[in-house]
Amino acid sequence: MAKLRFTFGTMGSGKSTQALQIHHNLRARGLTTLLMTQLDRREGRVSSRLGVSADAEIVEPSSDLFDLIRQRAKSLGHLNAVICDEVQFYQPAQCEQLARVVDELGVDVYTFGLLTTFQGVMFDGSARLMELADTRTEIQVEARCWCGARATHNARFVDGVQVISGATVVVGDTGGPTAGEVTYDLLCRRHWMEGAQAARGAQLELLDVDDARPGDHPDRSGPVEVDPDAVPTPLHATQNAGESP
């Protein structure tokens, strides 16, 4: 019976390497597979930090994955499995489409991705897969924080300073809308939270400075003088007794 599998881990835990290994092993057994990814560093490829890579189908936010996979299965004659990398960036509706691929087309689907953002909350795609997947597996390759403890959180840095605000999707080595040099690192919960608290404090300091800056509008915090002649007379006060409005 076909299954929807979700494998997750932190950066550097080997998600893409495992996706490529499954893709290779299935093909070596003569099975037909489709490799898919979104927002990888190399367009149209799944690449691992170990240096291995393979051609892949690009998933756009607007892609209907059920229809796309059904068409690929038809053109290939048969499809045994779909391997999806970077699924944290998939839309929740696309995760549901992958579930339909399993249930209605009988094709195994292997998905790989991060669980949480640099802000410490779950990606929408990962959250939906946690809800839908037949199996959920955390990669057991334990990345380490700089202190030596097990790394559990992905952290974003801009010019070497941890940040907790900004666009969810900013690929560090491809450029993006964030000013400054964007890098990522792995931290344990303790040091991620320390950095997040410092970032919140810096944001509050900026807000205090903004509040102290003179505004362009007049100060209306004091008493307001009202001209009685400028106040409109209520409609009912202008009517004679017995008149209806």
* Residues 104-122: tens digit of each pLDDT: 999 999 999 999 998 889 9
**Of 24, 62, 79, the residue nearest 46 (C-alpha):** 24
Q: Are residues 101 and 149 in the same domain?
A: no
- Pair (167, 134) in one structural domain: no
In a domain, 222, yes or no: no
* Known catalytic residue at 96: no
Tell me, yes or no, whether 225 lies in a domain.
Answer: no
Residues 184, 121: one domain? no
Do 75 and 161 fall into the same domain? no
Q: Spell out the residues 6+ positions from residue 99 whose beta carbon is closer than 8 angstroms to its own.
A: 4, 109, 132
Query: Is the domain of 91 the same as that of 154?
Result: no
**Residue bearing the bigger pLDDT, 174 or 4:** 4
Catalytic residue among 43, 86, 205, 225: 86
What pTM did the predictor assign? 0.71
- Tally the domains of the chain: 2
**Position 30 confidence tier, pLDDT thresholds 50, 70, 90:** very high
Residue range 233-244, pLDDT digits in tens: 544 444 444 444
At 66 the three-state DSSP class reads helix
Are 50 and 155 in the same domain? Answer: no
Q: What is the CA radius of gyration of the chain?
A: 27
223, 186 Cβ separation under 8 angstroms = no
SS3 14: coil
Task: Tell me if 58 sits within 8 A of 44, measured CB to CB.
Answer: yes
Helix (H) or strand (E) holding 104: helix 92-105
The CATH number of the domain holding residue 137 is 3.40.50.300
Claim to verify: residue 3 and residue 98 sit in the same structural domain: yes
- What is the total residue count of the chain? 245
Range of the domain at 168: 143-213
Please check whether residues 132 and 15 belong to one and the same domain. yes
Are 116 and 26 in the same domain?
Answer: yes
Whether the CB-CB separation of 26 and 82 falls below 8 Å is answered with no
Three-state DSSP state, 83: strand
Is the distance from CB of 40 to CB of 90 less than 8 angstroms?
no
Establish if 239 belongs to a structural domain: no
Q: What is the pLDDT of residues 50-84, one digit of tens each?
A: 556 667 888 999 999 999 999 999 999 989 999 99
Last residue of a domain, which of 84, 117, 141? Answer: 141
Torsion of CA 153, 154, 158, 163, to 10 degrees: -40
Kindly state whether residues 53 and 165 are assigned to the same domain: no
